[in-house]
Amino acid sequence: MVISRRDAMLSVVAGLIVPWQTFAFEKQGQQDNDIFLSCRILTNGSYTLACMNAGGHVFWENALPGRGHGFAIRQGTDQFVVFARRPGQYAMVVDVRTGKTIKRLSSITGRHFYGHGVFDRQVKRLYTSENDFERGRGVIGIYDADSDYRRLGELDSGGIGPHEVVMLHHRDELVVANGGVRTHPDFGRTPLNIDSMRPNVAWLDPSSGVVNNRLELPESRRRLSLRHLAVSDVDRVCVAGQIVSANSAGEDDMLEPLVAFSDGDSQELGIAPDAAQKLMRRYLASVAWLSDPGLFVVTAPHAGVVTLWSQTGQFQGSIEVARDSAGVCSDVSGKTAWISADTGKLLSIDFPSRVKSSHQFALVDGYFDNHITCVPRA
C-alpha cells in the first residue's frame, strides 16, 4: 500500500489514521526497537499524535482535536492516555497498536486539564493534573481505568497550577509539581498572580489526600514555575522549572531556570548551583531519568543543550543539541536518551559514550511538540 504525502496530509486533517507502513505492529514490536509516542504540530496548523520506533518505522499518525502535551502509559496493557495542552478539555485513551481512540475523556464543569497524568502502581486508577479555575485551586482528578475511566473524584494538589504528576516506584505516593501560576480559561494562558506565586513540590497520599510533604522555593525564586518531574530508581525526584516573567520582553535578570532535587523527606529543595544553571537560559522543558548511567537529563530548548545531573544534584555536564529540542525520555534499557525537536527528527544519545545519532521519520510535514515517551514492551 503506497500513500502519497498529499493523500496522507488529507487523511490526517480529516482525522483518519495514516498507515505509513504495511508491516504488522506485532512483528515490529517483537524486535529490539523501542516504541515512542509524541504529539506533533503540522505545518498547516493542525495537531497529530504519532507512534514510531527506534528503527525509523512509523506505525501510525492520527489527528488530535487540539494541541496535545503529555502521556500516561498503562503498563501491562495496550492502552495509554494523551492529554490536551493546558487549558485543554480533552484526554484520550488510545490503543497503542492501532492508534484508535478507546475512550475520550472531557474535563468536568469548572475544570480543565493541565497536560499530564499518571497511573497508580496497580494500573487501575488514573490521576490527572487539573485546574479548579473559579477557585484558583489545583486538583488531581481520579479516574477508574477498570470502569471505562469513570471519574471518581479529586484530591487537592497542594498548590496552584499543578502540571506534571508522577507516582513513586516503591510506595503509593504521588508527587506533584505545582507551578504556582493561577490561570483562567477566560484569559487563556495569561498568568493572573505573578506577584503572589508560591510554586511547590507536593507529596500526596492518593488514598487519603493528605499532603505528606510540601517544599516551596525560596523567596528569590518565587517566579520560577515548577513544571516537570522525573523519579530515580530510589525515588529521588528531579524538578525542572521555567521563568514566569513580569514584563512583555520575557526577561528578568534576577531569575535563572531551576533544577532542584529532593528525596521527599527533606525540609527544603536542593537547588542546583547557579553557575551550572546559567547556561540553560531561563527555560527548561522536560526531564527524564536514565537508570544506567544513573543520570537525570534535562532539556533547555532555548539554549540548545541538555544538562546532566546525578540524582543527588551534582552537575555532570551538558551536551549540545538542536535549538528547541524539548522532549526527552529514556529507552527501555535506561542507557539511551531520546530527544525530540521541531526539526522533525529525533536525536538519541547513548551512555556512557555520549555519542549522538539523528533519526529521520517519514511523517507528515511538521515538528515534534514538547514531550516524547517510550512505551515499555510487554
Residue with cell 483562567: 184
Estimate the share of the chain in helix, then strand, then coil, as percent rounded to the nearest 5.
10, 45, 45
86-133 pLDDT, tens digit per residue, is: 899 999 999 999 999 999 999 999 999 999 999 999 999 999 999 999
376 pLDDT tier (thresholds 50, 70, 90): confident
SS3 278: helix
Tell me, yes or no, whether 169 lies in a domain. Answer: yes
Q: So what's the pLDDT on residue 5?
A: 44
Tell me, yes or no, whether 161 lies in a domain. Answer: yes
Give Cα 65 to chain centroid, integer Å. Answer: 19
- 280 secondary structure, DSSP code: G
Cα first-last separation, the chain: 28
- Between CA 105 and CA 22 the distance in angstroms is 30
Tell me, yes or no, whether 277 lies in a domain. Answer: no
- Between CA 30 and CA 20 the distance in angstroms is 19
Q: Which residues contact 79 (CB under 8 A, 6 or more apart)?
A: 93, 94, 95, 96, 102, 145
Give Cα 168 to chain centroid, integer Å. Answer: 16
The x, y and z cell numbers of residue 15, run together, are 482525522
Best-predicted range by mean pLDDT (16-30, 153-167, 278-292): 153-167
Q: So what's the pLDDT on residue 250?
A: 47
Q: So what's the pLDDT on residue 274?
A: 72
| Other Cβ atoms within 10 Å of 142 Cβ, number | 18
Alpha helix (H) ranges present in 154-263?
none
- 7 secondary structure, DSSP code: H
Residue with the bigger pLDDT between 341 and 122: it is 122
Q: So what's the pLDDT on residue 212?
A: 96
Tell me, yes or no, whether 271 lies in a domain. Answer: no
Lowest-pLDDT range, 114-128, 133-147, 169-183, 216-230? 216-230
Tell me, yes or no, whether 111 lies in a domain. Answer: yes
Residue 104 structural domain:
65-216
* Segment (H or E) for 317: strand 315-320
Tell me, yes or no, whether 152 lies in a domain. Answer: yes
Q: So what's the pLDDT on residue 294?
A: 96
Q: So what's the pLDDT on residue 25?
A: 53
- 283 secondary structure, DSSP code: B
Q: So what's the pLDDT on residue 21?
A: 41
* pTM recorded for the entire structure: 0.90
Are 111 and 97 in contact, with CB atoms under 8 Å apart?
A: no
Are 285 and 301 in contact, with CB atoms under 8 Å apart?
A: yes
Tell me, yes or no, whether 54 lies in a domain. Answer: no
The pair phi, psi for residue 125, each rounded to 5°, is -125, 140
Q: So what's the pLDDT on residue 12?
A: 44
Lowest-pLDDT range, 41-45, 121-125, 263-267? 263-267
Short-list 162, 130, 131, CA closest to 143: 130
Alpha helix (H) ranges present in the chain?
5-13, 25-29, 274-277
Amino acid at 59: F
Does 36 have pLDDT greater than 70?
yes
Tell me, yes or no, whether 92 lies in a domain. Answer: yes
| Count of domains forming the chain | 1
Q: So what's the pLDDT on residue 256?
A: 62
Are 98 and 91 in contact, with CB atoms under 8 Å apart?
A: no
CATH number for the domain that contains residue 162 = 2.130.10.10
- Between CA 138 and CA 214 the distance in angstroms is 14
Residue with the bigger pLDDT between 22 and 110: it is 110
